[in-house]
Amino acid sequence: MTIEQLKNKKILILGYGIEGKATYDFLKKYCPRATVGIADQKDSPGSDDYLKKQADYDLVIKTPGIPKRLVTKPYTTGTNIFFANANRPIIGITGTKGKSTTTTLIYSILKEGDLNAYLIGNIGIPMLSELMTEKTDDAIYVCELSSYQLEDIEYSPYISVILNLFPEHMDYHGSFENYKTVKKRIIYHATSKDYFVYNPDYPELLELAKLTKAKGVPFVEELFFPTEIIPLRGEHNIENVRAAVTVARIIDVPDEAIEAAVRKFTPLPHRLEFVGNFRGIDFYDDAISTTPESTIMAINSIPNIQTIFLGGKDRGYDFSLLAGKIADSGIKNIVLFPESGAKMKPLLSHIPGIKLFETSDMKEAVKFAYENTKPGMACVLSTASPSYSVWKNFEEKGDLFKKFVKELGE
């Protein structure tokens, strides 16, 4: 909805986290005569009573993560308001894993090429907050988009990027098929003037490229610089760089600026992050890995893993491929956190020479790692499950891991 369409309405902001607060500030600035209310689950702990407030309003602005089945009035989202009012090119990036890294890398490349780029979206910078500051006509938005934000999107970016697709958020979306459908919505409203940048290793994305009106552009096959300059671990991160280079070439960023940005790029925290070598052990924080597939990528990316931390909220994932990977990799020590740790235990306990340690205490887990990991080997936090059974989010989990690694390492 445009700003004009929002004026003079009775609007309820449903969900008052970082996105909801940005929406409130946006409405107060641009729609000062609108009646604005707030409803958040914190208002009615343990119940859905906060949803009843919808009856008193004409329009709901729903925060990502609140299922649309809970909305009982006409609604829009901060994402749709942003797209309706941005009036600048938007590069939208989605996928199951690698979104934040690729989004930040594209932004870094554009800045290195002296383009007027702005980093926004699911990466932690609300779109509407950035929309509240004046932009010149040459501004470009680089926007990370989650499945929650794409669920009901009514627009497509100028350049849409899909990195990969494997099961995640199935408790919210109901099935892997539903999840994939939501991710593909990023290009549903594309025109012949738009672009669809996709990973050609996924047959579904190849098929999607044939169906969309946008110009389909697969990731570049070969990088024009040696992969040794990439400061990111793992083959999956080379794919992310290929995606970023493809986007940069569409908007004519010079190759020298692309290479310079890749060389300078600083890996984001909690993504195969090297914490340090303590007592001869290499410690890695990969707290962002919340699916079996991403943990398999971590195992493929780090040499000499002897200890790995697994488990978290049980979202119904199949861990059999991960268990097979662990059996083949030589990993000997495994920390299992609740809830999914209990589900993994029978898949892992039969592996010869394996040592399992069940706990919900990160300090005890790190202590176990120090006691059982030999110098010259590695310990990795890469739990293959979301954090919410024990921690507030993956950042808290990763920060605690790093804290105790350093404390006990001294």
Handedness of CA 232, 234, 240, 244 (dihedral sign): positive
Q: How many angstroms separate the CA atoms of 135 and 314, rounded?
A: 43
What are 228-243's pLDDT values in tens digits?
A: 999 999 999 999 999 9
| Long-range contacts (CB closer than 8 Å, 24 or more residues apart) made by 320-323 | 320/347, 321/292, 321/296, 322/292, 322/295, 322/296, 322/384, 323/347, 323/348, 323/351
- Rounded to the nearest 10 degrees, what angle do helices 235-250 and 292-301 cross at? 100
User: How many CB atoms are located within 10 Å of the residue 410 CB?
Assistant: 7
Quickly state the pLDDT bin for 356 (edges 50, 70, 90): very high
Contacts of 161 (CB under 8 A, 6+ apart): 91, 92, 93, 94, 95, 102, 197, 198, 243, 247
Domains assigned to the chain: 3-79 (3.40.50), 86-264 (3.40.1190.10), 273-409 (3.90.190.20)
What are 256-287's pLDDT values in tens digits?
A: 999 999 999 999 999 999 999 999 999 999 99
What are 310-332's pLDDT values in tens digits?
A: 999 998 999 999 999 999 999 99
Q: How many angstroms separate the CA atoms of 131 and 139, rounded?
A: 11
Half-sphere exposure of 338 (CA within 13 A, CB side): 6
SS3 130: helix
Quickly state the pLDDT bin for 65 (edges 50, 70, 90): confident
Contacts of 208 (CB under 8 A, 6+ apart): 162, 184, 187, 196, 198
What are 169-211's pLDDT values in tens digits?
A: 767 777 889 989 999 999 999 999 999 999 999 999 999 999 9
Average pLDDT of the residues in 152-176: 88
Q: How many angstroms separate the CA atoms of 272 and 269, rounded?
A: 8
Instruction: Give the pairing of strands 90-94 and 75-77.
Output: unpaired
Half-sphere exposure of 376 (CA within 13 A, CB side): 0
Quickly state the pLDDT bin for 166 (edges 50, 70, 90): confident
Going across the sheet that includes 35-39, the strands are 35-39, 10-14, 59-62, 75-77
Instruction: Give the pairing of strands 281-285 and 273-278.
Output: antiparallel
Nearest in space to 237 (alpha carbons), one of 271, 280, 198: 271
- In degrees and rounded to multiples of 5, residue 35 shows phi and psi of -85, 120
In 172-287, where do the E strands start and end?
195-198, 215-218, 273-278, 281-285
By percentage, how much of the chain surpasses pLDDT 70? 100
Quickly state the pLDDT bin for 349 (edges 50, 70, 90): very high
In 138-212, where do the E strands start and end?
140-144, 159-162, 195-198
For all residues of the chain together, what is the average pLDDT?
Answer: 96
- In degrees and rounded to multiples of 5, residue 77 shows phi and psi of -135, 160
pLDDT for 170 equals 63
Q: Nearest-5° angle of CA 124, CA 125, CA 129? A: 145
